[in-house]
Amino acid sequence: MTWQEQLIRRNPALFVRSFRGVAFAPGYPRCAPGWQHVVTRLVERVAAAANDGSVYFTHMVCENGVLRTHWSSRSEIPQRSALKIEEAIGLAEARSASACIDCGAEGRLFATDFVLAPLCKVHQRGTLVPIVAGGDVFLRRGVLRERPVLVQSRYDWDSDAFLDLPTSVDPKAKAPNGRSCMSRRESAKKGQKMGIRRSERLSQVGQFVSVKCGGLVVPLRHPLVRDALVQAALDPAVRSIEYLPTIPTTPTTWGVDAIAIESDDGRYYLDIVEARPRRSIAQKLIVAQALLDLGLRPLVRTETEVLREPRCSNARTVFEYAGRPIDLGLRMQILGALTHDGAMPLGELLSRLQSYRDPVTAVMSLACHDLIELDLVSTPLGPHTMMRLRK
């Protein structure tokens, strides 16, 4: 009996399905013996995360030197369980990327007879694949303030765990590491050097911060991007804005420099035609595919759309108040009035407020804080601008 067969017999709920009355395992682990421990640990973790028997593997294959796993479930499972399963799969992918396919020891990626596979010092053969900065940095799903976000993590071989990285855009703080078989200092030095160079090459026209960015800074490469982000920050349909400096793909990591926007109807990356970075066709295809793999579709916008009035000027005007302190008394009065009476025109709300402080500043700042919604699309900002409490 193969180790795969034994594993499937021990965990039938996770593997066995029926095809015309005959049992088979769509997620049969198709990989070399060196990954037995990687697969076994993955199965144990998934079994612990999904103990109601509804989850099963649909695909578990060695693909270009990494273990790719897909799963499904017979019924809906809690988000917390789904995240644990995703984490277990992420850990198995990360470990398989440097686990020798012959013996499971820590190794590096080689190309042998045109096939990519990690091999240890004892079993190494073929051509060594060069190390690229950030090769051990992975993106995985996490939760921040009850919202799903992408977390950048580094895989730690010794503890078989992810170490969350600060998602800061400061290249020094990022310090991407090389593959783990180099000495830590050596790899850190090399990674840092390449990482910083890559970031410095990209020119920056400013920075963008909003409460929707989860406290992180988005570097701006083009003035149109600022307008698009200001509008997204004030758009009630947009839930979060996130900067993705790199995306790990097999076998290298790509600097994508993308901005992910999560809205009520899906997850997108911002693609402003006039602000597209200069890339070769091959690079464009790889970056687009990597973003698609993350579930991000292009949100294509042209200069004309971004600068369309009255929205563009309205958004710019309101966003000038971002971060201004809000008088507590005014805040209570504004939120109270909107809670009680629902949506109303800005003029009506302002006439009700009683304070010696500027009420307009408070209203605009609350909008920038994502606490109230202003209709910036229909009319130029004025007494007739409709406003309501953020849903």
Residues that bind Zn ion (CB under 5 A): 100, 102-103, 105, 120, 123
Distance separating alpha carbons of residues 184 and 202, to the nearest angstrom: 27
Q: Considering the complex, what minimum distance in angstroms separates the CB of residue 106 from Zn ion?
A: 9
- For 264-295, give one letter per residue: b (16+ CB within 10 A) or e: eeebbbbbbeebeeeeeeeeeebbbebbeebe
Q: Considering the complex, what minimum distance in angstroms separates the CB of residue 108 from Zn ion?
A: 11
Q: Of the two residues 92 and 288, which places its CB atom closer to Zn ion in the complex? A: 92
Q: In this structure, what token pair is assigned to residue 380?
A: 């130029």
Question: Does an H or E element contain 157, and which?
Answer: none
Q: Considering the complex, what minimum distance in angstroms separates the CB of residue 254 from Zn ion?
A: 29
| Three-class SS state of 300 | strand
Q: Considering the complex, what minimum distance in angstroms separates the CB of residue 98 from Zn ion?
A: 11
Q: Of the two residues 86 and 160, which places its CB atom closer to Zn ion in the complex? A: 160
Q: Considering the complex, what minimum distance in angstroms separates the CB of residue 391 from Zn ion?
A: 56
Q: Of the two residues 120 and 218, which places its CB atom closer to Zn ion in the complex? A: 120
| Three-class SS state of 115 | strand
Q: Considering the complex, what minimum distance in angstroms separates the CB of residue 248 from Zn ion?
A: 23
Q: Considering the complex, what minimum distance in angstroms separates the CB of residue 113 from Zn ion?
A: 17
Report the C-alpha dihedral over residues 200, 204, 208, 209, rounded to 10 degrees.
Answer: 20
Distance separating alpha carbons of residues 373 and 388, to the nearest angstrom: 5
Question: CB-side exposure of 303: number of CA atoms within 13 Å?
Answer: 5
Q: Considering the complex, what minimum distance in angstroms separates the CB of residue 126 from Zn ion?
A: 13
Q: Of the two residues 51 and 127, which places its CB atom closer to Zn ion in the complex? A: 127
CA of 241: how far to CAs of 246, 300, 369, in Å? Answer: 16, 16, 14
Name the residue type at position 357. R
Q: Of the two residues 99 and 224, which places its CB atom closer to Zn ion in the complex? A: 99
Helical segments of 202-269, H only = 223-234
Q: Of the two residues 90 and 118, which places its CB atom closer to Zn ion in the complex? A: 118
Distance separating alpha carbons of residues 108 and 120, to the nearest angstrom: 6
Distance separating alpha carbons of residues 288 and 268, to the nearest angstrom: 11
Q: Of the two residues 98 and 192, which places its CB atom closer to Zn ion in the complex? A: 98
Q: Tell which residue, 50, 49, 68, 46, has the closest CA to residue 59.
A: 68
Q: Of the two residues 117 and 232, which places its CB atom closer to Zn ion in the complex? A: 117
Helical segments of 97-242, H only = 171-174, 184-201, 223-234
Q: Of the two residues 103 and 286, which places its CB atom closer to Zn ion in the complex? A: 103
Q: Tell which residue, 304, 294, 314, 326, has the closest CA to residue 381.
A: 314
Q: Considering the complex, what minimum distance in angstroms separates the CB of residue 210 from Zn ion?
A: 49
Distance separating alpha carbons of residues 95 and 134, to the nearest angstrom: 15
